[in-house]
C-alpha cells in the first residue's frame, strides 16, 4: 500500500489546519454523530438563511480523515444554497462509496477530490462521511423545525 494515496497533502493540511472549526452561535440546528466502531464523534451546527447555508461550525474528535473531511465540508457548503450543498454532498458520498472506481469532478468537489484514495479503504469511508452525515441530519432538523435555537 501506498500511504500517500490515502493521506494526500490536502488532507493532512486540512487535518492540521481545519477550516471553520469550533462551535458558534447563532445556529438553527445541531447534530451529534458518532462512529460506533472507533468512537470518533462530531457535533455540527448549521445556520440556514433564506435557503442558504450561512454557517457551519463543529467540534469533535477523530482521525485525520474525519477531521479533514469536515473541514473540506465547510469550504464546500457555506455560502451555497442547501440544494447546492446537497448536490455536492451526493457527489462526495458517491465518490466515497465507489470503492476507488469513480473519477471525482474537481469543479464540484474541489479539495474533496483528495479523498478519492480513501474510497479504496472501506473501513475509512465512514470516517470521511461522519461530518457529512452530521450536516445532512442538522439541515433536516432545521427544516423539520425539530430544533431551532
Partner 1 sequence: MTTTTANSVPLDVAAIRADFPILTRTVRDGKPLVYLDSGATSQKPAQVLEAERRFLETSNAAVHRGAHQLAEEATDAYESARVRIAEFVGASPHELVFTKNATEGINLVAYAMSNAATAGPEAERFKLGPGDEIVITEMEHHANLVPWQQLCQRTGATLKWFSVTADGRLDLSNVDELITERTKVLAFTHQSNVLGTINPVEFLVKKARKVGALVVLDACQSVPHFPVDLHALDVDFAAFAGHKMVGPYGIGVLYGRRELLEAMPPFLTGGSMIELVRMEQTTFAAPPQRFEAGTPMTSQAVGLGAAADYLSAIGMDRVAAHEHLLTEAALAGLGEIPGVRIIGPTDMADRGGLVSFVIDGVHPHDSGQVLDSLGVAVRVGHHCAWPLHRACSVPATVRASFYVYNTLSEVDALVNGVREAQKFFGVA
By CB under 8 A, name the binding residues for partner 1: 1-3, 6-7, 12, 34, 36-41, 61-65, 121-124, 127
Which lies closer to partner 1 via its Cβ, residue 52 or residue 126?
126
Closest distance between partner 1 and the C-beta of residue 123, in Å? 4
Which lies closer to partner 1 via its Cβ, residue 29 or residue 42?
42
Closest distance between partner 1 and the C-beta of residue 84, in Å? 28
Closest distance between partner 1 and the C-beta of residue 41, in Å? 8
Which lies closer to partner 1 via its Cβ, residue 6 or residue 78?
6
CA-CA distance, 21 to 44, in Å (whole number)?
9
CA-CA distance, 92 to 62, in Å (whole number)?
19
Closest distance between partner 1 and the C-beta of residue 97, in Å? 13
CA-CA distance, 43 to 32, in Å (whole number)?
4
Residue 56's alpha-carbon distances to 69, 83, 105, in angstroms, are: 13, 15, 23
CA-CA distance, 40 to 125, in Å (whole number)?
13
Which lies closer to partner 1 via its Cβ, residue 70 or residue 88?
70
DSSP H helical segments within the chain, as ranges?
3-6, 9-16, 64-77, 82-96, 106-109, 122-144
Amino acid at each position: 500500500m501506498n500511504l500517500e494515496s490515502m493521506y494526500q497533502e490536502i488532507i493532512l493540511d486540512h487535518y492540521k489546519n481545519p477550516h471553520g472549526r469550533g462551535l458558534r452561535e447563532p445556529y438553527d440546528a445541531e447534530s451529534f454523530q458518532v462512529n460506533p466502531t472507533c468512537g470518533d464523534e462530531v457535533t455540527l451546527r448549521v445556520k440556514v438563511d433564506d435557503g442558504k447555508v450561512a454557517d457551519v461550525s463543529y467540534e469533535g474528535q477523530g482521525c485525520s480523515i474525519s477531521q479533514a473531511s469536515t473541514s473540506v465540508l465547510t469550504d464546500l457548503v457555506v455560502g451555497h444554497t442547501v440544494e447546492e450543498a446537497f448536490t455536492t454532498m451526493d457527489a462526495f458520498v458517491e465518490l466515497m462509496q465507489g470503492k476507488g472506481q469513480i473519477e471525482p469532478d474537481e469543479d464540484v468537489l474541489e479539495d474533496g477530490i483528495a479523498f478519492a484514495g480513501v474510497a479504496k479503504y472501506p473501513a475509512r469511508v465512514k470516517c470521511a462521511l461522519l461530518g457529512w452525515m452530521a450536516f445532512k441530519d442538522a439541515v433536516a432538523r432545521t427544516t423539520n423545525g425539530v430544533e431551532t435555537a
